[in-house]
Structure 1
């Protein structure tokens, strides 16, 4: 049985599109892999990977070609899986990051959730923020 999570897509023009993630913690082919489907309108995007975060990145890259971004923590500019978060629960969690601050348990979030602090970003923008955050930790 799959787990379903609602999510919103944001288009370049600001249009909001309701969608749904379908999550499977193991595929039939490999019990170590996860499957993530994004369903909206008449469309379905499927990704299989070792973690849900990795599968979400592949889906985001496809969405970006169509000018769409996910409005959830897994696609937020200042959120990234750090350390053990990728191994925990198939990569369902990540951390809200702040410059010069190490990740804190209190800042761990589900990549499928959202709130007003989410900053929908491209995969590249999110990775660039993470790299700048890493540099900021070495500066003190």
Structure 2
């Protein structure tokens, strides 16, 4: 089954909309940008696919929760939503159900195209929870 999601992006300081096609059988996100053929990003879950998409397009700002530095899925949220839901983490605080977000919801603060920055935040968050 393919689900379509429209998100806002910025290319050369111009805000545009782009459609992301999420295939839950192949576990991929396909996107097409100006004058480029569609390209599929395949991963273990949609959060990972979206990370590959962003990393491959560093010139594009993606205005959604999945691009926010403090967003990371849990094992359970990944299993339940294939990575479409993730937690908005805060250093030193356990997440609650209220912190569970849809990765394609709009966001314009603390955005990154580098999944490694999100991973580094996540590891710092883990350290903050175990008192290191």
Indicate whether the TM-score tops 0.5: yes
Report if the CA contact (8 A) 1:80-1:95 is conserved. Answer: yes
- Pick from 65, 71, 79: which aligns with 1:73? 65
Deviation at 1:120, TM superposition (A): 1.4
Deviation at 1:87, TM superposition (A): 1.2
Coordinate RMSD, CA, aligned: 1.9
Deviation at 1:42, TM superposition (A): 2.7
1:119 aligns to 2:110 (yes or no) = yes
Report the counterpart of residue 36 of structure 1 in structure 2: 29
Report the counterpart of residue 17 of structure 1 in structure 2: 16
User: 2 CA distance for matches of 1:19 and 1:63?
Assistant: 13
Report if the CA contact (8 A) 1:77-1:126 is conserved. Answer: yes
Where does structure 1 lack aligned partners over 5 or more consecutive residues? Answer: 28-33
Instruction: Give the secondary-structure state (helix, strand or coil) at the position aligned to 1:126.
Output: helix
1:54 aligns to 2:48 (yes or no) = yes
1:97 aligns to 2:101 (yes or no) = no
Instruction: Give the secondary-structure state (helix, strand or coil) at the position aligned to 1:94.
Output: strand
- Please report the TM-score for the alignment, with normalisation by the length of structure 2: 0.86
Deviation at 1:41, TM superposition (A): 2.0
User: 1 CA distance for matches of 2:76 and 2:94?
Assistant: 13
Where does structure 2 lack aligned partners over 5 or more consecutive residues? Answer: none
Deviation at 1:74, TM superposition (A): 1.0
- Please report the TM-score for the alignment, with normalisation by the length of structure 1: 0.81
Aligned length: 130
User: 1 CA distance for matches of 2:25 and 2:80?
Assistant: 15
